[in-house]
Amino acid sequence: MQSNIYLGLVHHPVYNKFGDVVTTSITNLDIHDIARSCKTFGLKKFFVITPLNTQELLLNRILKFWKSDIAKEYNNDRVQALSLIEYAVDIETVVKQISLQEDDCLVVSTTATRLKQQISFNDLRKFSKPVLLLFGTGNGLTKKIHEQADHVLKPIEGKGNYNHLSVRSAVAIVLDRLSSEK
């Protein structure tokens, strides 16, 4: 797997189960589990993306503990994983932050839905430019995000018609497939 992959967990704009565009809440499980997957697979940063100041405060409160000496003694592995997290107000801010550190990045969105002209995991592995891999909370990223992305990744397919993984599971599977040899 290439070493210049960044992950963005988008809380707005995403769909709810009724198809409305909403802002979802940050969850402790997502923060911890996705950070651990990012660290395991060697990602550069994990951006938590939400425009809500109250959610930024919640994230900072969680991260404050994991920056403390007590946390380092309690679970240093978790401290290392959570050190990858940065807050961002929107996707554009993340792209700008990455571009300050590296060449312009490619934005790749994810979805559980089949769309036109999606790229495979093998295609994504071949990119040499930095990649911002976007995952949506709620019921997924909006159509507009997919349209603005440079690429949309093909969905994870299981057996049967049911396809609604938790975002934590989807991140882990995608990162594993990107690092797998095939």
Rg (CA), the chain: 16
User: Tell me: the pLDDT tens digits for 65-111?
Assistant: 988 889 888 999 999 999 999 999 999 999 999 999 998 899 999 99
Domains, the chain, in order of start with CATH, read 5-179 (3.40.1280.10)
Q: Please state the pTM of the whole predicted model.
A: 0.95
**pLDDT band at 182; cut points 50, 70, 90:** low
Closest-CA residue to 109 (of 43, 154, 162, 139)? 154
pLDDT of residue 64: 93
> Which pLDDT belongs to residue 41?
96
Angle at the Cα of 84 (from 73 to 76), degrees rounded to 5? 15
Share in percent of the chain as helix, strand, coil (round to 5): 40, 20, 40
Per-residue pLDDT of 145-175, as tens digits, reads 999 999 999 999 888 888 889 999 999 999 9
